[in-house]
Amino acid sequence: MALRNALLVSIAGLSLGAHADEGMWMPSQLPEIAAQLKAAGFKGDPKDLADLTKPPMSAVVSLGGCTASFVSPQGLVVTNHHCAYGAIQLNSTPDNNLMANGFNAATREQEVSAGPAARVLVTESFDRITDRILEGARGKTGRDYYDAVDAASKAAVAECEQDAGYRCSVANMYYGTDFYLVKQLELKDIRLVYAPPEAIGNYGDEIDNFMWPRHSGDFAFYRAYVGKDGKPAPFSADNVPYKPRAFLEVSTDPVAEGDFAMLAGYPGRTYRHRSAAEFADQVQVALPGRIDLYGALIDTVEGAAKGDAEAGVRYASQLAGLKNNLKRAQGELDGLRRSDAVGVKARDEAAMLSWLDAQPDAAGSRADIDAAGAVIAQSHATRERDTLFATMRSQTQLLKSALQLQRLAAERGKPDAQRERGYQQRDEALIEASLKQVQRRYSPAVEKAVLGELLSRYYKLPADQRIAEVDAVFGGDIAQAKAALDTLYTGTTLGDEAERLRLLAAAPADVSASTDPLMQAAAKLLPAELRIEDADKTQEGELLRLRPAYMRALVGYRESQGQAVYPDANSTLRVSYGKVSSLDPRDGVHYTPLTTVQGIVEKHTGEAPFDAPKPLRDAIAKGDFGSTADPALGTQTVNLMTNLDTTGGNSGSPVMDANGRLIGLNFDSNWEAVSASWMYDPRYKRAIHVDVRYLRWLLAKVYPAPQLLQEMRLPAE
Amino acid sequence: MALRNALLVSIAGLSLGAHADEGMWMPSQLPEIAAQLKAAGFKGDPKDLADLTKPPMSAVVSLGGCTASFVSPQGLVVTNHHCAYGAIQLNSTPDNNLMANGFNAATREQEVSAGPAARVLVTESFDRITDRILEGARGKTGRDYYDAVDAASKAAVAECEQDAGYRCSVANMYYGTDFYLVKQLELKDIRLVYAPPEAIGNYGDEIDNFMWPRHSGDFAFYRAYVGKDGKPAPFSADNVPYKPRAFLEVSTDPVAEGDFAMLAGYPGRTYRHRSAAEFADQVQVALPGRIDLYGALIDTVEGAAKGDAEAGVRYASQLAGLKNNLKRAQGELDGLRRSDAVGVKARDEAAMLSWLDAQPDAAGSRADIDAAGAVIAQSHATRERDTLFATMRSQTQLLKSALQLQRLAAERGKPDAQRERGYQQRDEALIEASLKQVQRRYSPAVEKAVLGELLSRYYKLPADQRIAEVDAVFGGDIAQAKAALDTLYTGTTLGDEAERLRLLAAAPADVSASTDPLMQAAAKLLPAELRIEDADKTQEGELLRLRPAYMRALVGYRESQGQAVYPDANSTLRVSYGKVSSLDPRDGVHYTPLTTVQGIVEKHTGEAPFDAPKPLRDAIAKGDFGSTADPALGTQTVNLMTNLDTTGGNSGSPVMDANGRLIGLNFDSNWEAVSASWMYDPRYKRAIHVDVRYLRWLLAKVYPAPQLLQEMRLPAE
């Protein structure tokens, strides 16, 4: 109870930049924070963590969207079941459903391809090239600044990719302050080695998603193969296992609350270093607005589909997406309010600016900071309108198809490299797939209702926000718009798949000459789309130019307090450290940091998603846990909770102990931490992992894979 | 975690009669178990607890359905808000809504009547009269045994009630083994003194019902008045406060996990000493059958009311009742399964019977025990049919009205004292009210659908279970029944309130001569109702005669193990003792035993039932908790959890510390303990109380009532 009291008291004193366990550090920063890393309990040399060619960091890889790690010298890779789901699905047949049954290749020969798109990316270098990227941009502003950075980045990537077998990218750190060239070995022959049944790998599914206590065996094994020459190569039966520079040793020690833990991975996106004004906007305007819009769209779709069973089925997925977005937005808003993120950030920024004003070269920085604030305010001024316009495309099927077809026709007039992203040759297959999908996801009544709702909101905007092209197509008020929608959807033949595919294949001139009313409407709307896109890039360019002043001030201010600053997440390799942690999610409730197989039995209903397979239930009932049992609990653990700093993209990240040995696989966060993309609140930020002892037990006793245990040099039971 | 492990291990060893904290003891038993009571931490003399005329037991009173206690020498009574809800509602007007605003009588004159039906019952004596009750029954069997017990009980009650101002009853202990005459002083002028707003007294309402963590201020104060002569009297402005023999002192000490706690009250009904066969039947047949039937009726009502908004409204309350019953039955079933109640009871009974067989006089007892088992089995054989028949009445409106009218007409032919309970003169107002209510709760389509569902189940019963009268009215199969229902409901005029009330007022002969088709159907069904009632009483008589052998064997067996046996609850005064206890409801989750005002803020949404009043929120924000704050938590507690043994009827029960001082008011149980009416599982059985410090704080700082604090000799803040 003393702990609880301490936590309650700490609410008032919550501040930024002061939490020992917050941070998604670039590996190169770790020597800088060596003292705090050692104080937290890390037993290795922090310098080793900075070297991407050495263990353990060289064992941590990206799957593109997920993280994974090598766990044997023979290219064995462990990641989440949900990260390998596509590969599992791909290899499933009605007779051999790997999703339902799991997969266990007894020999190398039985390993199956994860598909031609599967990748394992090994980051080999990470070099600061700020000067090269900004050289041509300096002195420029707005769109010109944006284009200069874009061109320099593309050139650096092209040069780097001259080295065959590598994929390169430029990462923007601290919002335009620094740029790094990331060079990754691109392994292309990836094979599925082992996966538990979905009823284990995704036990609890959507119901348990974001929830603790958790009981999921969310893991799977891949193996990376290369050509006989050791170089990356597409799938071939002749290929041989890739020999990584390093692999992680799997721990055989118990884990308990308070133990040091660290994690490496590729977190996607955070907003921790946004300005106080952006925090306030997010809580006071952006999220409430998003919640209002999602709520209205849900009501609209449900209302329009009511009594029409077929429409209900066709919009089920779109509705589920809207509801999920609504739930997340509400969770983020609740969390940010609970943490008083606006107040905490405002106080921190005010202190930082006071500090800045006392510095010799403050004036120029303040000018940039204020200018950045003005650009942001300007973008917020038209945000509601821009969102409504973008939503007319994103939440429709037929109008979206028409806009896609017109845009593609326009882009096809340019050399491929100059086409807008999403409309290059390599994107056309995706466009075709999306044009085909329309058939299963569209009902004219619902689409008209959605557009009616969006347009009725549009007509309530101030007059100076009107988009001439929208008015030209839909008229000047909602009554005219409804009539226009009736005319458009009665007259269009885009509901016919053959017609859409004909237009996809047609010459650009034929597309623009189409007399289909919806195609003509899209042609009229296209200039507005392009104009808004250009304004976005202009603003983006200005912010690339101006935000670094804010970031430099923040870094300087923290430095003056003896603290380092990690950059916001951007899908590059990062390291977090912290400890195995319980959670007090609300008054009267305490969550322990380890769950056990008892919870699987408690949740089991016999129906998905709580349909624990019989072999698992039998093994639990038998209670034969061998060396994988937790000595303190006297039973088998399943999942593990830490306070590690994570976000989307950290799925599959290896969780390591103080000696860098694998103790868990990250796979989710808790509901109370949905707002952590903006603010790390030490009271509520937790990460959820598979306890590697559960993985070991499943491999030893439930769906045995002695060959894998042997390969990882683990006890057979 | 060591504790958790110990609990997991204890599952296998769970047994009955061995838990220190289980038991609803008759006060007279407490000297018998003095050693264990002292060992648990009780600091008073257990003998004092046995004397109903001494404190603290003389301070504990019944409200009829709820429990309460005197807390001042001036007749001040504290109970639950939900127990005083009728009185609060009665005194509410559109201009002065006491439910919403609460009530606080600054002076005696401002106290308002709780209504003519409100009672405070002070148990003054509790005397064993077994011989007197059984004298005329001995040698008899079945219905004769039942009637003899009934007649002797009525005579004892009538004699006892010669003493004006008393209400008497005969309590059957240990299933017919013993009978006690309970004599209660019946105070009739009860006034409302204080109630918090509903948003405090019922914070969380249905959503939080059965749930922990809880944050409800479920308390209210009454005052009992008597005539100037000190005798019970109906309300009169001249009446004076009743001076109780004793009152409870309110504790000003902190409370913490593990502290001794005890509770006194009037628990309604438990089934702990039912036989192993009855346990098995409850889990394997009765509860699954009830769940199936409730589920089918819910589907039927929802299906029939679909698309008919008016029917939806009319059946909302009936549906809510069915869903609540379904939820409780499912909770009870889940709990009994989780506790392996069937296995635990079977092993215990087997051990008891082995012990019994080794006793000198075993044969006669075994014969009775086996005979009781046969009677129970026999009643189970026709249970499904009897349930369906009873449900045709309980879940309908028009058919029920017709049956009520016909039955009342039949009963009116007898002297009032010989009429069946529910049909005596004093019941007629209730029957009239129920006949009026029909209007707001009836739709012919839904009632026909409900009867159709029940009859379709009836026709699937074995042929020998058919009821001739049902076949005569509804025909021999479901097709005939549907036609019959159409005819009955097209032809009846009972849907007209005036017609129902006319029949209520009509002479018996006119009622039986009614040509209304539904009245004629009821007249035909009435003999079946009477026959089943008679069979029930015959079985009840046999069980009254035979069950004592089982109970005596159980008491003897426990005695041989050094344990006492408390009787199953029967709405008489009982005492439980145990301790302030946390709960591990499921893997990974730990509930602390004290909640705090922080939880009120966390749950507050601004909308009922989580609409904490502004004065409360302001006071929490201010953090001025004075002497009522918990020193360890550093904040104000709200609710309190113990492992005390309770059931329905214990609402309002005083929770006392080791010195008999009031530390809480019982108001609910946890969801995991729904099955406790059959089995006390120490892992899951908890009781939920208002922490008296929250009550004190509300009276001191939020809705101040300094006069009450002074009257209870409590600090002003």
Distance from the first to the final alpha carbon of chain B: 39
Cβ distance of A213 and B634 shorter than 8 Å: no
Cβ distance of A2 and B589 shorter than 8 Å: no
pLDDT at B7: 36
Question: pLDDT by residue (tens digit) across B479-538?
Answer: 999 999 999 999 999 999 999 999 999 999 999 999 999 999 999 999 999 999 999 999
Question: pLDDT by residue (tens digit) across B645-661?
Answer: 999 999 999 999 999 99
Chain A residue at shortest CA distance from B334: A602
pLDDT at A307: 84
Max Cα–Cα distance, chain B, nearest Å = 75
Q: Do residues B204 and B177 touch, judged by C-beta distance below 8 A?
A: no
Q: Do residues B193 and B147 touch, judged by C-beta distance below 8 A?
A: no
Give the confidence band of A17 by pLDDT, cuts at 50, 70, 90: low
Q: A108-144 burial, b for 16+ CB within 10 Å, e for fewer? A: eeebebbbeebbbbbbeebeebeebbbebbeebebbe
DSSP three-state, residue B229: coil
CB-nearest to A634 from B5, B589, B602 is B5
List the beta bridge partners of residue B186.
Answer: B121
Cβ distance of B587 and A212 shorter than 8 Å: no
Question: What's the Cα-to-Cα distance from B476 to each of B94, B230, B456, B514, B516, rounded to whole Å?
Answer: 54, 65, 11, 25, 22
For residue A476, tell me if it sits in a domain: yes
For residue A299 the two structure tokens come to 């009501």
> Average pLDDT for residues B238-258, to the nearest whole number?
97
Q: Which domain holds residue B514?
A: 293-327+370-548
- Answer positive or negative: Cα dihedral of A46, A48, A53, A55: negative
Q: Do residues B640 and B247 touch, judged by C-beta distance below 8 A?
A: no
DSSP B360-388: TTHHHHHHHHHHHHHHHHHHHHTHHHHHH
For residue B525 the two structure tokens come to 């069904």
For residue B352, tell me if it sits in a domain: no
Question: pLDDT by residue (tens digit) across A309-354?
Answer: 888 888 988 998 899 899 999 999 999 999 999 999 999 999 999 9
Count of alpha carbons within 13 angstroms of residue A400, beta-carbon side? 19
Give the confidence band of B567 by pLDDT, cuts at 50, 70, 90: very high
> Average pLDDT for residues B551-578, to the nearest whole number?
96
Q: Do residues A72 and A169 touch, judged by C-beta distance below 8 A?
A: no
Poorest-confidence range of A436-450, B380-394, B453-467, B527-541? A436-450
Give the gap in angstroms from C-alpha B85 to the nearest C-alpha of chain A. Answer: 27
> Average pLDDT for residues B551-558, to the nearest whole number?
97
A205 has a pLDDT exceeding 70: yes
CB-nearest to A595 from B215, B587, B591 is B587
Residue B581 sits in the same domain as residue B669: yes
For residue A175 the two structure tokens come to 């919002």
Q: Do residues B299 and B326 touch, judged by C-beta distance below 8 A?
A: no
Question: pLDDT by residue (tens digit) across A666-682?
Answer: 999 999 999 999 999 99
Residue A497 sits in the same domain as residue A588: no
Q: How many CB pairs under 8 A join A and B?
A: 83
pLDDT at A310: 87
For residue B638, tell me if it sits in a domain: yes
For residue A191, tell me if it sits in a domain: no
Question: pLDDT by residue (tens digit) across B592-644?
Answer: 999 999 999 999 999 999 999 999 999 999 999 989 999 999 999 999 999 99
Whether the upstream peptide bond of residue A288 has omega within 30° of 0, thus cis, is no
Cβ distance of A635 and B598 shorter than 8 Å: no
pLDDT at B324: 87
DSSP A649: T
- Cβ-in-10-Å burial (0-12, 13-18, 19+) of B506 comes to middle
Give the confidence band of B320 by pLDDT, cuts at 50, 70, 90: confident
> Average pLDDT for residues A187-198, to the nearest whole number?
97
Give the gap in angstroms from C-alpha A508 to the nearest C-alpha of chain B. Answer: 52
CB-nearest to B589 from A9, A591, A635 is A591
Tell me how far apart the alpha carbons of residues B598 and A29 are, in angstroms, rounded to a whole number. Answer: 39
Residue B673 sits in the same domain as residue B539: no
Residue B321 sits in the same domain as residue B444: yes
* Structure-token match 């279970």, residue found: B465
Sequence-ordered alpha helix ranges (H) in A51-112:
85-90, 98-101
Poorest-confidence range of A137-151, A303-317, A519-533, A648-662? A303-317
B12 has a pLDDT exceeding 50: no
Cβ distance of A588 and B602 shorter than 8 Å: no
Cβ distance of A592 and B592 shorter than 8 Å: no
One-letter amino acid at A462 equals P
> Average pLDDT for residues B7-24, to the nearest whole number?
60
CB-nearest to A599 from B1, B588, B602 is B588
In 3D space, the residue among B695, B677, B689 whose CA is nearest the CA of residue B653 turns out to be: B689
Looking at the structure of chain A, the number of domains it has is: 2
Whether the upstream peptide bond of residue B56 has omega within 30° of 0, thus cis, is yes
List the beta bridge partners of residue B112.
Answer: B192
Residues of chain B with Cβ-Cβ distance to A4 below 8 Å are 592, 633
Cβ distance of B588 and A602 shorter than 8 Å: no
> Average pLDDT for residues A162-170, to the nearest whole number?
95
Task: Between A309 and A656, name the one with better pLDDT.
Answer: A656
Residue A401 sits in the same domain as residue A301: yes
Residues of chain B with Cβ-Cβ distance to A586 below 8 Å are 213, 599, 602
For residue B519, tell me if it sits in a domain: yes
Residue A541 sits in the same domain as residue A579: no
A7 has a pLDDT exceeding 60: no
For residue A365 the two structure tokens come to 């920085």
Give the confidence band of A32 by pLDDT, cuts at 50, 70, 90: very high
The residues, ordered by sequence, that sit 6+ positions from B243 with a Cβ below 8 Å of its Cβ are B73, B74, B75, B230
Tell me how far apart the alpha carbons of residues B86 and B75 are, in angstroms, rounded to a whole number. Answer: 20
Among B513, B548, B583, residue at a domain's last position: B548
> Average pLDDT for residues A504-520, to the nearest whole number?
95
Residues of chain A with Cβ-Cβ distance to B587 below 8 Å are 213, 215, 595-596, 598-599, 602
Q: Whole-number mean pLDDT of chain B?
A: 94
Sequence-ordered alpha helix ranges (H) in B106-181:
130-134, 142-160
Task: Between B337 and B416, name the one with better pLDDT.
Answer: B337
pLDDT at B17: 63
In 3D space, the residue among B527, B500, B486 whose CA is nearest the CA of residue B402 turns out to be: B500
For residue B499, tell me if it sits in a domain: yes
Interface test with B, best of A587, A603, A630 (most B CBs within 10 A): A587
Tell me how far apart the alpha carbons of residues B108 and B76 are, in angstroms, rounded to a whole number. Answer: 11
CB-nearest to B590 from A586, A592, A598 is A592
> Average pLDDT for residues A455-462, to the nearest whole number?
97
In 3D space, the residue among B371, B373, B376, B383 whose CA is nearest the CA of residue B532 turns out to be: B383
Residues of chain A with Cβ-Cβ distance to B588 below 8 Å are 212-214, 591-592, 594-596, 599
A159 has a pLDDT exceeding 70: yes
Interface of chain B against chain A, CB under 8 Å? 1-2, 4-5, 8-9, 212-215, 256-257, 586-592, 594-596, 598-599, 602, 632-635
Radius of gyration of chain B from its Cα atoms, rounded to whole angstroms: 27
Residue B534 sits in the same domain as residue B395: yes
Residue B436 sits in the same domain as residue B512: yes
Residue B413 sits in the same domain as residue B488: yes
A9 has a pLDDT exceeding 90: no
Give the gap in angstroms from C-alpha A469 to the nearest C-alpha of chain B. Answer: 42
The residues, ordered by sequence, that sit 6+ positions from B571 with a Cβ below 8 Å of its Cβ are B171, B266, B267, B268, B269, B649
Cβ distance of A632 and B2 shorter than 8 Å: yes
Tell me how far apart the alpha carbons of residues A410 and A423 are, in angstroms, rounded to a whole number. Answer: 10
Tell me how far apart the alpha carbons of residues A488 and A490 are, in angstroms, rounded to a whole number. Answer: 6
Give the gap in angstroms from C-alpha A602 to the nearest C-alpha of chain B. Answer: 7
pLDDT at A11: 42
Q: CB neighbours (10 Å) of residue B706?
A: 13
Cβ distance of B213 and A599 shorter than 8 Å: no
- Answer positive or negative: Cα dihedral of A483, A485, A487, A489: negative
Give the gap in angstroms from C-alpha A6 to the nearest C-alpha of chain B. Answer: 9
In 3D space, the residue among B710, B559, B593 whose CA is nearest the CA of residue B254 turns out to be: B593
Interface of chain A against chain B, CB under 8 Å? 1-2, 4-5, 8-9, 212-215, 586-592, 594-596, 598-599, 602, 632-635
Residues of chain B with Cβ-Cβ distance to A589 below 8 Å are 213, 589-592
Question: What's the Cα-to-Cα distance from A584 to each of A1, A670, B599, rounded to whole Å?
Answer: 11, 12, 12
In 3D space, the residue among A278, A468, A470 whose CA is nearest the CA of residue A380 turns out to be: A278
Residue A514 sits in the same domain as residue A472: yes
Chain A residue at shortest CA distance from B212: A588
pLDDT at A717: 84
* Structure-token match 């990882």, residue found: A712
CB-nearest to A588 from B256, B588, B595 is B595
Question: What's the Cα-to-Cα distance from B370 to each of B275, B277, B538, rounded to whole Å?
Answer: 11, 11, 17
Cβ distance of A587 and B213 shorter than 8 Å: yes
Catalytic residue (choose from B651, B653, B675, B677): B651
DSSP B382-424: THHHHHHHHHHHHT-SHHHHHHHHHHHHHHTTS-GGGSPTTSS
CB-nearest to B5 from A2, A586, A633 is A633
> Average pLDDT for residues A164-178, to the nearest whole number?
96
Tell me how far apart the alpha carbons of residues B529 and B389 are, in angstroms, rounded to a whole number. Answer: 8
For residue B615, tell me if it sits in a domain: yes
Among A548, A564, A592, residue at a domain's last position: A548
Give the confidence band of B429 by pLDDT, cuts at 50, 70, 90: confident
CB-nearest to B592 from A214, A590, A602 is A590
Residue B703 sits in the same domain as residue B645: yes
Residue A540 sits in the same domain as residue A407: yes
Q: Would you say the pTM of this structure is higher than 0.80?
A: yes
- Answer positive or negative: Cα dihedral of A160, A161, A163, A167: positive
Tell me how far apart the alpha carbons of residues A112 and A513 are, in angstroms, rounded to a whole number. Answer: 48
Give the confidence band of B433 by pLDDT, cuts at 50, 70, 90: confident
pLDDT at B309: 84
One-letter amino acid at B656 equals M
| Percent of chain A whose pLDDT exceeds 70 | 97
Q: Do residues A546 and A174 touch, judged by C-beta distance below 8 A?
A: no
Q: Do residues B30 and B218 touch, judged by C-beta distance below 8 A?
A: no
Among A548, A565, A582, residue at a domain's last position: A548
Give the confidence band of B439 by pLDDT, cuts at 50, 70, 90: confident
Residues of chain B with Cβ-Cβ distance to A5 below 8 Å are 632-635
Sequence-ordered alpha helix ranges (H) in B73-232:
85-90, 98-101, 130-134, 142-160, 198-201, 205-208
* Kind plus residue range of the DSSP H or E element containing A552: helix A517-560
B218 is catalytic: yes
Residues of chain B with Cβ-Cβ distance to A594 below 8 Å are 588
CB-nearest to B587 from A4, A5, A602 is A602
> Average pLDDT for residues B206-228, to the nearest whole number?
96
Q: Whole-number mean pLDDT of chain A?
A: 94
Interface test with A, best of B4, B5, B587 (most A CBs within 10 A): B587
B559 has a pLDDT exceeding 80: yes
Residues of chain B with Cβ-Cβ distance to A671 below 8 Å are none
Active site positions of A, annotated:
82, 218, 651
A111 has a pLDDT exceeding 70: yes
pLDDT at B14: 60
Question: What's the Cα-to-Cα distance from B84 to each of A388, B99, B180, B400, B662, rounded to whole Å?
Answer: 53, 10, 29, 31, 19
Cβ distance of B587 and A215 shorter than 8 Å: yes
Poorest-confidence range of A106-115, A258-267, B313-322? B313-322
Chain B residue at shortest CA distance from A9: B634
Cβ distance of A635 and B8 shorter than 8 Å: yes
pLDDT at A14: 60
For residue A193, tell me if it sits in a domain: no
Give the confidence band of A5 by pLDDT, cuts at 50, 70, 90: very low
Sequence-ordered alpha helix ranges (H) in B506-582:
508-512, 517-560
